[in-house]
Amino acid sequence: MKAKDILLSKGNSVLSIQEDASVQQAVSELSSRKIGFLIVRNASGEVTGVVSERDVINKCVNQKSDPEKTLVKDIMTPKEKIVLGFEEDDIESIMNTMTEKKIRHLPIFSGDQITGIISIGDVIKVLLESKDKEIQALSAYVSGNYPG
């Protein structure tokens, strides 16, 4: 299964926040939407980075910075350091990237356009569904009910 297939099944909405928003606004957005990751954009709408729960904890809370006064752009992972995935990447490649880089969210691109975000939860869901189908097929085969 490819990244584009995962996005097709889960949806490809890309939630973002302005880089001049406060960290408190980012936390409110993350909390209200029950997500852990936002794309950061400048006033022109260009992607300038990403912000995750880990960024908030490591670069704001642990530094004893005030989330009301700290800006997202001051704690975000900048664009040049974002780990990217692409629509044609297969699930094994996505898993390897997430594991090697110790990340839980992977922005997916087609060319230079972001087309969605895949989380580790999305990967696990796809793998479990795949294993369930495989188990059902093997059970049907063993019991003689396999259509073939």
Domain ranges of the chain: 3-142
CATH fourth-level superfamily of 3-142:
CBS-domain (3.10.580.10)
Inform me whether the pLDDT recorded for 69 exceeds 90: yes
Q: Does 146 have pLDDT greater than 80?
A: no
Q: Is the pLDDT of residue 134 over 90?
A: no
User: Is residue 26 within 8 Å of residue 76, measured between CB atoms?
Assistant: no
Residue at 126: amino acid letter:
V
What would the pLDDT profile of 6-21 be if each residue is shown by its tens digit? Answer: 999 888 889 999 999 9
Residue 42 has pLDDT above 70, yes or no: yes
CA-CA distance, 36 to 53, in Å (whole number)? Answer: 5
- Position 125, amino acid: K
